[in-house]
Amino acid sequence: MPLVRVDIKKHRDPTHAKRIGQLIYAAMRQTIGVPEHDNFQILAEHDEQHFIFDPEYLGINRSDNLVVIQITLNEGRTLEQKKNLYKTIAESLNAELAVRLEDVFINLVEVKKENWSFGNGVAQYAL
């Protein structure tokens, strides 16, 4: 059950954020085994005063088209799965939406299964 948050600077195309989300979901299904219908996303666009980043941190030249992706998911994926996820997301955003590879910033937040409630006040994954 990943929860995906995407933050971008306000884009001229009103479908841009949703298209980013669709590509991320497809990459998660392909690389880390996310099942069909397990798609929960928060897509936010910001003006330049509310979207702050360092354009050169770690020697990576970022532009105003930076896409910040945070995925909260159950712990347990291997390092190789994570690397494949990062690569697949970046490459698909580049190929489909012309997002520069340098402008794809991804953060995974791993949690234990009991840290989710999908509704009804119940911890559905708690054993």
Domain ranges in the chain?
A: 3-115
What dotted CATH number matches 3-115?
3.30.429.10
> How big is the chain, counted in residues?
127
Model confidence, pTM: 0.94
User: Coil, strand or helix: which one is 119?
Assistant: strand
DSSP-derived secondary structure letter, 125: T
Question: Rounded distance, CA 126 to CA 112, Å?
Answer: 9
- Cα torsion angle, 77, 82, 84, 86, sign: positive
Kindly indicate the confidence band of residue 126, based on its pLDDT and cuts at 50, 70 and 90.
Answer: confident
Tell me: the pLDDT tens digits for 81-105? 999 999 999 999 999 999 999 999 9
**Mean pLDDT value across the chain:** 96
Q: Among this protein's residues, is 2 annotated catalytic?
A: yes
